[in-house]
Amino acid sequence: MATIHVTPAVQPHSWRGWIEPWFLSYAFLGVSVAGLVPILLPLAVARTGSIADIGLVVGAFNLGGLVAPVWGGLADRFGHHRALLLWGLLGTLLTLAIFPFVSSLAARLALALAQGASAASAATVANLFIVETHSRPEWDERIGWLQTFYGGGQVLGLILAGLVSGADLKLGFLIAAGITLAACLPAFSMRGNPRHTPLSRPVLAHPSRHSELSAGSPQSFYHHLNGKAFKHLARSMTSPLGIFLFAWLVSFGGVAAFFSLYPVLMKELYNVDPSVSSVGFAVAAAGGLFLYAPAGKWSRSFGPLPVLRAALGVRISAFVVLFAVGLLNWGLGGPLALVSFLLVVLAWSLLSVTGTEITAQFSEAHEGEGLGLFNASTAVAGVLGAVIGGWTASAWGYAVVPVLGIGGAAVGIALTTIVNKYSKNNGQKEIE
């Protein structure tokens, strides 16, 4: 079992000592990319495009996140962290401002892809800059506060999305662009002399506190994919790590199908207006921030795999209710659907903590490469889930989409159940 060694943090005079002015850039980025975009993007496409188009456009946005290793490599090689942050913010700004004024699918796909790539550029450099300009004992506290700023921005963005979703969506996109522009100003305060760090990145104490959405969370791009990771996985495609990553991809892909259609799905299937469903999402996202610490305690007490399976079980139960509500069209379907979605989001905190821990343990001495594959599988699942979700809803209706969440989580439980048995039979370590 791989061990994560954490040096006691150097305590500043107050909590303000952990925070830097450029953290505000990520708070604003969280408002626009993680809060407004997941609501506005599907709604905008739904007004003039098909259901399948929604999945394709959201999938293109998620696909843009797969270029994160390029930006991370540039930051490693040249150290131009502030420039990459500013270019990423400007690219996000321009694509957000242009998107509501185009109607062709090709243009929307191109802009969504550019949005995802730009957000990935901005997000990738955050953790890299911290670990390359500060001593190791300070990393976790600083990164924890960085993610607090980003997560708080996401919550505010979802609430704002609820306020503007009923108006002209062009205004919503322009507000998102304006907020991204505001993010450029604090970015100029990013100063320092970054050191070169190896591509095999150390495991952080809090590597998992990030949004489930493939929306540019700084945490999700720290352990970016590289050639060593592919070589490591190629040597053991049927290893416990390979099996677990496939289980993660399938389970995450199922829920990504629901997320990609969320505001449209809630409106068309459960009769919940986007102004309400956005606020419901914000409440769920805020609540999830308080579950990371308990998730870590439960993982240490019961083992990461049992906690992960329990979280997947919660998601299966929630999606069963969502499926039944959509199929039967109950009178109280809207409130029940919102509560069920709340459980889906809250389960992410447990899945994120345990998934990261399991990957690090199975990766042994290659934690950085293993977590790069873990993040890549999450991004790929987001792309596949969005496209498959849109196609499924187009072919069989919105009511079938929760079935993808049920199936993905069920396959995940089945595969993770055999991981330890496989490990034991092959003389390898067990997680439980």
Domains in the chain, number: 2
What is the three-class DSSP state of 432?
Answer: coil
| 179 in the same domain as 249 | no
Residue 218 has pLDDT above 60, yes or no: yes
Q: Is residue 2 part of a domain?
A: no
Give residue 93's Cα distance to chain centre. Answer: 20
Q: What is the pLDDT at residue 82?
A: 86
| 236 in the same domain as 182 | no
CB 252 within 8 A of CB 408: yes
- The tokens for 163 are 């306020």
Q: Which of 189, 211, 236 is the last residue of a domain?
A: 189
- The tokens for 173 are 């996109």
Q: What is the pLDDT at residue 1?
A: 40
Q: Whole-prediction pTM value?
A: 0.88
Q: What is the pLDDT at residue 234?
A: 67
Q: Is residue 215 part of a domain?
A: no
Higher pLDDT, 223 or 261: 261
Q: What is the pLDDT at residue 420?
A: 65
- The tokens for 175 are 């507000």
pLDDT digits (tens, 9 = 90+) for 158-192: 999 999 987 789 999 999 999 999 999 999 888 76
Domain that holds residue 42: 19-189
Confidence of residue 196 (pLDDT cuts 50, 70, 90): low
How many CB atoms sit inside 10 A of residue 183's CB?
A: 29
Cα–Cα distance measured from residue 392 to residue 8, given in angstroms and rounded to the nearest whole number? 50
* Helix ranges restricted to H, 99-202: 105-133, 136-164, 169-187
Q: Which of 189, 212, 247 is the last residue of a domain?
A: 189
Q: What is the pLDDT at residue 411?
A: 95
408, 389, 409: which is closest to 400 by C-alpha?
Answer: 389
In this structure, of 57-66, 194-203, 204-213, the range with the lowest mean pLDDT score is: 194-203
CATH code for the domain of 44 = 1.20.1250.20
Give residue 271's Cα distance to chain centre. Answer: 26
Cα–Cα distance measured from residue 314 to residue 354, given in angstroms and rounded to the nearest whole number? 15
Q: What is the pLDDT at residue 249?
A: 92
| 233 in the same domain as 175 | no
- The tokens for 87 are 């270019």
Q: What is the pLDDT at residue 370?
A: 75
Q: What is the pLDDT at residue 341?
A: 95
| 56 in the same domain as 133 | yes
Cα–Cα distance measured from residue 21 to residue 310, given in angstroms and rounded to the nearest whole number? 39
In this structure, of 19-33, 37-51, 223-237, the range with the lowest mean pLDDT score is: 223-237
Q: Is residue 217 part of a domain?
A: no
CB 42 within 8 A of CB 262: yes
Q: Is residue 362 part of a domain?
A: yes
Cα–Cα distance measured from residue 151 to residue 145, given in angstroms and rounded to the nearest whole number? 10
Amino acid sitting at position 341:
F
15, 88, 91, 62: which is closest to 220 by C-alpha?
Answer: 62
- The tokens for 261 are 């259609």
Angle, CA of 370, 375 and 379, to the nearest 5°: 145
Q: What is the dihedral of CA 133, 139, 141, 146, to 10 degrees?
A: 60
CB 122 within 8 A of CB 131: no
431, 79, 72: which is closest to 225 by C-alpha?
Answer: 72
Residue 253 has pLDDT above 80, yes or no: yes
| 183 in the same domain as 280 | no
| 150 in the same domain as 83 | yes
Confidence of residue 375 (pLDDT cuts 50, 70, 90): confident
Q: Is residue 214 part of a domain?
A: no
Q: What is the pLDDT at residue 320?
A: 97
* Helix ranges restricted to H, 188-289: 227-234, 240-260, 262-270, 274-289
308, 356, 307: which is closest to 206 by C-alpha?
Answer: 356
pLDDT digits (tens, 9 = 90+) for 300-355: 899 899 999 999 999 999 999 999 999 887 667 789 999 999 999 999 989 988 98
| 101 in the same domain as 148 | yes
| 331 in the same domain as 412 | yes
Residue found under tokens 């899945």: 351
- The tokens for 85 are 């942050």
Q: Is residue 13 part of a domain?
A: no
| 409 in the same domain as 304 | yes
Q: Which of 161, 189, 217 is the last residue of a domain?
A: 189
Confidence of residue 9 (pLDDT cuts 50, 70, 90): very low
Q: Is residue 253 part of a domain?
A: yes
CB 278 within 8 A of CB 34: no
Share of the chain above pLDDT 90, in %: 50
| 241 in the same domain as 182 | no
Higher pLDDT, 432 or 9: 432
Residue found under tokens 């996109």: 173
| 136 in the same domain as 239 | no
Share of the chain above pLDDT 70, in %: 83
| 81 in the same domain as 169 | yes
Confidence of residue 425 (pLDDT cuts 50, 70, 90): low
Q: Is residue 300 part of a domain?
A: yes
Residue 429 has pLDDT above 60, yes or no: no
Cα–Cα distance measured from residue 149 to residue 147, given in angstroms and rounded to the nearest whole number? 5
398, 317, 305, 312: which is closest to 357 by C-alpha?
Answer: 305
In this structure, of 8-17, 145-154, 205-214, 314-323, the range with the lowest mean pLDDT score is: 8-17
Confidence of residue 263 (pLDDT cuts 50, 70, 90): very high
Please state the φ and ψ torsions of residue 46, each to the nearest 5 degrees. Answer: -65, -25
Cα–Cα distance measured from residue 363 to residue 348, given in angstroms and rounded to the nearest whole number? 22
Confidence of residue 4 (pLDDT cuts 50, 70, 90): very low
- The tokens for 225 are 């994919």
